[in-house]
Amino acid sequence: MLLYLRLFKESFAFAISALTNNKLRTFLSLLGVTIGIFSIIAVLAAVDSLDRNIQENLSGLDKNTMYLTKYSFGPTDVPRWQRDNFPQTEYDDYEFIKRNVPDIEAVAYVMFESGETVKYDAETIAGVRVTPVSHEIYDIEDMKIGEGRFYTEAESVSGSPVIVLGYTLAENLFKNSNPLGKEIRVFGRKLTVIGVLKKFGATIFDSPDEKAYVPVNFVRRFRNGGADGIPGAVIIKPEKNVDIGAFESVLKQKFRVYRGLKAGDPDDFFVNKMSGMTDAIDSIIGTMNFMGWIISGFSLLVGGFGIANIMFVSVKERTNLIGIQKSLGAKNRFILFQFLFEAVVLAVIGGIIGLVFVWLVSMIASSFTGDFEFVLSTGNMMLGFGLSTLIGLISGVIPAISASRLDPVEAIRTGM
């Protein structure tokens, strides 16, 4: 054990000596490993951070939640001309599903939001995403109220002129004053603010902080939701522990009968599941990881060649020393491990530099993106350290073997 500790100490000293005596050569050799480790770990850290952000955004929404509408949220085999002829999903469809489809925990009707101008006194904000939706959306999306309340079923059904604001929207509109009970103008009409949502934070989707919610029946009074009006959707949250496949089949069957579709007719609607969207996101993230590994792998390959090159040069420069060591009784494995340790030390130094760069970039990126945090996880750091060690082992094994097999007499003569 002491022998190997001494061997490691001497190898480390040789590596540091090589670094200091041949600065340019060492820099060029380590550059490939540094860039390779930086590329792979930076990609993994970015993708992990993105995945974490997405999962946090979707954490309050049941993955079994379904959107019944004329639009498909993903790729479909239905031709565009056929989809364009699908009827709009209307409020009556929502009422039918609410009355006739079993095993539903909550169901809501939403008209797809549009950019509206919101006014309060002299303050005007344009392009606000105002969502007309029934009161059940509060339970489906697991919203959190910071001040006041969400509108009730009675207010939703009667179409009361009330509005619930996102955190940032309320801040921008009212500054430091209390928004509850204040009247604002949206759609050219007066609405009373009855609630403000808790701060949600930045998301890759539209943040609820900058949105507003109004009773859908309030908007239906002056904006048509039919074939030529604002498109809508029925949002369905099945009960827990229900068979989702069977539930979807019952939903489609009952809705087909309601729409008057015959046995051979294709569906004129889509049932989009949130689980399908999350699966698609997972697939995209997996592809990004794979492509990151492919691209970064070339950098690691170049770095490995650089380490191998510097080790061959090191063997050649120290041929005389190797001959002297072997003539004094040093065994082949001593010489082998000496150069192998040196290659690993050089590669690990390059890997550590790469990890430091990733950490600096993640810190800078997080400071510029606000609520979106880039995280360099312990797992990714260990992966970077392990990869750099592996590159050192692979790159140094052939030069180390060639050094260990040198004949001591020939080595001394060649060195002279």
Beta strand 270-273 with 183-186 is unpaired
How many Cα atoms are found within 13 Å in the side-chain-facing hemisphere of 237? 17
For residue 208, the tally of other CB atoms under 10 A from its CB is 27
* In 240-392, beta strands by DSSP E: 270-273
User: pTM value?
Assistant: 0.65
Output the pLDDT for position 196.
Answer: 93
Please report, as a single letter, which amino acid is at residue 30: L
Q: Are 255 and 132 in contact (CB under 8 A)?
A: no
List b or e across 35-50, with b for residues whose CB sees 16 or more CB atoms inside 10 angstroms.
bbbbbbbbbbbbbbbb
Backbone angles phi, psi at 208, to 5 degrees: -60, -20
Q: Are 255 and 269 in contact (CB under 8 A)?
A: yes
d(CA 314, CA 21): 11
Sites in the chain below the pLDDT cut of 50: none
Give SS3 for 248.
Answer: helix
Q: Are 12 and 20 in contact (CB under 8 A)?
A: no
- Helices then strands, each counted (H, E), the chain: 14, 11
For the four alpha carbons of 139, 67, 208 and 92, in that order, the dihedral sign comes to: negative
d(CA 290, CA 83): 34
Output the pLDDT for position 56.
Answer: 64
d(CA 77, CA 402): 61
CA distances from 307 to 7, 58, 168, 278 (A): 20, 45, 53, 42
* Burial group, residue 344, by CB count within 10 angstroms (0-12, 13-18, 19+): buried
The four Cα atoms 57, 58, 60, 65 give a dihedral, to 10 degrees, of: 150
Output the pLDDT for position 112.
Answer: 85
Per DSSP, the residues of 187-241 read TTEEEEEEEEEPP----SS--GGGEEEEEHHHHHTTS--STTS--EEEEEEEPTT
